[in-house]
């Protein structure tokens, strides 16, 4: 019998005998290394036997698993691992199939130790670079099983952690094995990403919860060795780092869905952390794709709660801060359009108290508070996006936002229809706050490009409104754009300084472009400063900002002509405070006096004319003795002590225009311009303001009359100004516009419906009338040119010009240009 058994054993295939020899009698002794080396040498010498070796090992492992002989299972997996590492022949594909079949068998087991063992073997296999491609291998089972392990809920926390970490490592192995192999299943498909990404985020989130508890030092040192959170983050970063342009969307969409399903936007912290990992891990040129997905998700959640939208906006804010300059992408204005649309919707929700337009009293207060937080977050995000843009794109964004601000009578289509006038006002405030954020830190060398007419004129129109908040925002925007040397903080405190050198102002020479800007827009700026001081609703913050604006104009854009105009403006402000016709409150009159004094003290030291400085200091000293309430130190404080009325402000406490003109004239300044009192120009912008004053209306009439020269032929006398005339000018402007629109409609209708003969006759009559008027003008204004060659006398004292060619005429020197 012994001989027969030996004979049968010898008849067995050699590869089976070699495989059997690596297993010891006692599994605790481990793999028989000498026999394992023989098996490896045989596999390398006869690679065609490798698939049979793998099939036989797989057969033994399945039998050992079924019999719970786990020691032999570990030995079989170790042998498989060594064979995988040693063999890279063309036949390895069939061996790999057997190997993956065994790994699948282990992962299907209920025992955590076998699951972990199978995962480790798979990770080793994933790190091997195969020489030959595989056309039929599938990893769907492994993605599903590893994702399931990442969500393990095993009772023992230590074993649960090990299973989850094994699942994370397994997913990392799948990604490494498939991401660069075009023949493998596309790991970026939604069916795979919807399993992989949520599994990683789940472990990131659970890791945050466990780390929030304070572990003991011993536990902390153990966790530092292998932290699930660190492993998850490393795996997530590796996944995102391998994502190409076309795969970004598939990788980010599951993140958005996970945050939605688990209500993680409201907490903000975890959502911000996830997208920080995303923004730092992906290639920088793909950043705008993530931002576009976030914007689309924000639009999709337009009717969700304010806390959810605020969380998405906060994530956008962080993403914009991380993104490199210009990474907002090609659709820059679309980004701002989306944010501005959310701002408008938030205002409507706040005022109506519900998302469908119906009022809901019970939740309105809570929603209003949440919507305010959302609006602030949107405004900060707009500023963050703007900071990533180059100067020329930021200018476009400024014009774009300005075009979105509803202006009554100018952009009626942009006004909010569902929330009424209050909604319009809130949108104006929010959009101007957005402009404050966009213009913060804006640097330009050319004021004509920083403040073009298309931006400056609508901006200044808001300084004529009755709302003090709007006027203050306009001033802040102007300060940001004009200040190019960071001088604004130095003017924040209005005071009388004996030596302004302590301010350390940065004064640069005014360029030619800046000079052109002041010639073009200077009068507009002066006028709005004057009207801002004149407004009864202006408070301490308004006057401080106006002083800062005056100071910036003096150091940033001042040439001799500008300095003269600014001094005239300051003296006009003094006259405004002295005037009793404007009915200004006592505080406003004292504030205007103090503002004029502080500014004249500043400008006199900037001009460095000793006599000018002496006069200003004499007046300030007189005020300190007789009426300190006309100086900024006693006015711009929390509780100013002011008299009940301002009367008899005269004498030494006033700045004299004649004296200033005299002392500056001696230094070469334009005395004629200095001696002319400043009067603000009346423009069409007042149509936007409901505060036309009687003085402005009279100055308009005087200005119109002064433009007509008395040397011309007689004109019709000006209409007498009565109370009714002023009332009609103030109140009936809307009616006049309606009449003008009706007249235009009738003209258009006439040209559309009237017969051709009637239209031709009408136009012919107008042309004849125009020609006759032109002939009259030519007869009056055109005289025969004086001929140096003499004149021919005709009868009755008349003279007739001799026709002389133009090139023979001799003109006086004064007539030649």
Q: Taking the CB of residue 265, how many other CB atoms lie within 10 A of it?
A: 24
Q: Given pLDDT bands bounded at 50, 70 and 90, which one contains residue 329?
A: low
Is the residue at 683 inside a domain?
yes
CA torsion, points 504, 510, 516, 520, in degrees to nearest 10?
20
**What average pLDDT does this structure show over 437-449?**
86
Q: Tell me if residue 443 falls in helix, strand or coil.
A: coil
Q: Given pLDDT bands bounded at 50, 70 and 90, which one contains residue 694?
A: very low
pLDDT of residue 412: 46
Is the residue at 577 inside a domain?
yes
Angle between helices 228-241 and 190-212 (to 10 degrees): 150
Confirm if 602 and 500 have CB atoms less than 8 A apart. Answer: yes
Token pair belonging to 38: 């023989």
User: Rounded CA gap, 802 and 786, in Å?
Assistant: 10
Q: Given pLDDT bands bounded at 50, 70 and 90, which one contains residue 25?
A: confident
- Residue owning tokens 């005429």: 809
pLDDT of residue 64: 83
Confirm if 424 and 406 have CB atoms less than 8 A apart. Answer: yes
Provide the domain limits for residue 625. 483-690
More confident residue, 802 or 523: 523
Token pair belonging to 679: 């009067």
pLDDT of residue 258: 95
- Stated as kind and residue range, the H or E segment containing 667 is none
Confirm if 21 and 32 have CB atoms less than 8 A apart. Answer: yes
pLDDT of residue 85: 77
Question: What's the total number of domains in the chain?
Answer: 1
pLDDT of residue 702: 38
Confirm if 247 and 188 have CB atoms less than 8 A apart. Answer: yes
- Residue owning tokens 């992962």: 107
**What average pLDDT does this structure show over 122-134?**
75
Share of the chain above pLDDT 70, in %: 79
Give the rounded distance of the alpha carbon of 581 from its chain centre.
Answer: 45
Confirm if 596 and 562 have CB atoms less than 8 A apart. Answer: no
Confirm if 463 and 528 have CB atoms less than 8 A apart. Answer: yes
Is the residue at 543 inside a domain?
yes
Is the residue at 432 inside a domain?
no
Is the residue at 544 inside a domain?
yes
pLDDT of residue 364: 45
At 493, give phi and psi (nearest 5°).
-110, 115
Q: Facing residues of 307 across strands?
A: none
Is the residue at 600 inside a domain?
yes
Q: Given pLDDT bands bounded at 50, 70 and 90, which one contains residue 573?
A: very high
Whether the pLDDT of residue 703 is over 50: the answer is: no
Distances (CA, A) of 724 to 207, 729, 751: 78, 9, 37
pTM beyond 0.85: the answer is no
Average pLDDT, the chain: 80
């Amino acid at each position: 019998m012994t001989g027969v058994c030996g004979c049968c054993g010898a008849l067995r295939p050699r590869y089976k005998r070699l495989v059997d020899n690596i297993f010891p009698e006692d599994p605790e002794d481990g793999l028989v290394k000498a026999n394992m080396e023989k098996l490896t040498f045989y596999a390398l010498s006869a690679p065609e036997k490798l698939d049979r070796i793998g099939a036989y090992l797989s057969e033994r492992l399945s039998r050992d698993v079924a019999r719970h002989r786990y020691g032999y299972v570990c030995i079989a997996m170790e042998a498989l691992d060594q064979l995988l590492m040693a063999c890279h022949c063309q036949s390895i594909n069939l061996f790999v199939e057997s190997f993956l079949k065994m790994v699948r068998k282990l992962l299907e087991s209920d025992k955590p130790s076998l699951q972990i063992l199978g995962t480790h073997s798979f990770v080793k296999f994933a790190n091997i670079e195969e020489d030959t491609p595989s056309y039929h291998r599938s990893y769907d089972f492994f993605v599903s099983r590893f994702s399931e392990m990442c969500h393990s809920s095993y009772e023992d926390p230590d074993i649960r952690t090990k299973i989850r970490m094994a699942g994370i490592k397994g997913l990392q192995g799948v990604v490494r094995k498939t991401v660069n192999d075009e023949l493998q299943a596309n790991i970026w498909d939604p069916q795979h990403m919807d399993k992989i990404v949520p599994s990683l985020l789940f472990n990131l989130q659970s890791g945050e919860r466990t780390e929030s508890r304070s572990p003991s030092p011993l536990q902390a040192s153990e966790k530092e060795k292998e932290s699930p959170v660190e492993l998850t983050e490393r795996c997530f970063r590796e996944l995102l780092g391998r994502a190409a342009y076309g795969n970004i969307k598939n990788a980010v969409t599951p993140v958005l869905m996970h945050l939605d399903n688990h209500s993680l936007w409201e907490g903000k912290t975890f959502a911000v952390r996830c997208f920080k990992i995303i923004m730092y891990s992906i290639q920088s040129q793909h950043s705008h794709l993530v931002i576009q997905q976030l914007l689309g998700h924000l639009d999709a959640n337009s009717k969700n709660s304010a806390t959810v939208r605020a969380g998405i906006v906060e994530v956008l804010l962080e993403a914009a801060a991380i993104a490199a300059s210009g990474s907002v992408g090609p659709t820059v204005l679309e980004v701002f359009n989306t944010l501005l649309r959310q701002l408008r919707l938030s205002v409507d929700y706040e005022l109506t108290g519900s998302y469908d337009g119906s009022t809901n009293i019970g939740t309105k207060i809570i929603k209003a508070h949440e919507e305010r937080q959302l609006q602030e977050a949107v405004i900060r995000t707009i500023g963050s996006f703007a900071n990533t843009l180059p100067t020329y794109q930021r200018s476009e964004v400024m014009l774009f936002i300005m075009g979105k601000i509803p202006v009554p009578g100018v952009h009626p289509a942009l006004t909010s229809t569902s929330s009424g006038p209050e909604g319009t006002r809130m949108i104006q405030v929010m959009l101007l706050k957005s402009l404050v954020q966009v213009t913060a830190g804006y640097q330009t060398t050319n004021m004509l490009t920083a403040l073009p007419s298309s931006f400056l004129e609508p901006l200044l129109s808001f300084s004529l409104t009755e709302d003090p908040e709007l006027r203050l925002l306009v001033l802040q925007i102007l300060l940001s754009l004009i200040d190019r040397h960071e001088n604004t903080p130095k003017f924040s405190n209005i005071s009388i300084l004996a030596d302004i050198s302590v301010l350390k102002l940065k004064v640069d020479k005014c360029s030619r472009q800046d000079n052109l800007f002041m010639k073009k827009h200077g009068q507009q700026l002066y006028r709005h400063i004057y009207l801002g001081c004149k407004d009864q609703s202006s408070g301490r913050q308004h006057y401080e900002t106006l002083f800062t604006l005056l100071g910036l104009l003096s150091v940033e854009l001042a040439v001799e002509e500008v300095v003269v105009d600014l001094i005239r403006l300051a003296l006009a402000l003094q006259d405004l405070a002295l005037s009793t016709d404007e009915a200004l409150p006592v505080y406003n009159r004292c504030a205007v006096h103090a503002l004029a004094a502080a500014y004249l003290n500043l400008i006199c030291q900037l001009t460095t004319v000793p006599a000018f400085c002496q006069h200003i200091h004499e007046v300030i000293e007189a005020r300190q003795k007789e009426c300190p309430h006309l100086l900024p130190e006693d006015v711009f404080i929390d509780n100013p002590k002011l008299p009940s009325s301002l009367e008899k402000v005269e004498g030494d406490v006033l700045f004299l225009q004649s004296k200033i003109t005299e002392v500056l004239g001696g230094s070469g300044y334009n005395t004629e311009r200095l001696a002319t009192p400043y009067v603000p120009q009346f423009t069409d912008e007042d149509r936007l303001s409901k505060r036309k004053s009687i003085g402005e209306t009279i100055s308009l009439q005087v200005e119109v009359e002064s433009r007509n020269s008395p040397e011309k032929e007689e004109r019709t006398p000006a209409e007498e100004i009565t109370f009714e005339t002023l009332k009609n000018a103030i109140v009936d402007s809307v009616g006049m516009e309606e009449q003008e629109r009706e007249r235009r409609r009738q003209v258009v209708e006439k040209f559309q419906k009237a017969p051709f003969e009637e239209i031709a006759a009408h136009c012919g009559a107008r042309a004849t009338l125009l020609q006759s008027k032109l002939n009259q003008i030519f007869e009056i204004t055109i005289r025969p040119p004086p001929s140096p060659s003499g004149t021919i006398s005709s009868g009755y004292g008349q003279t007739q010009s001799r026709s002389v060619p133009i090139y023979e005429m001799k003109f006086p020197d004064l007539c030649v240009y």
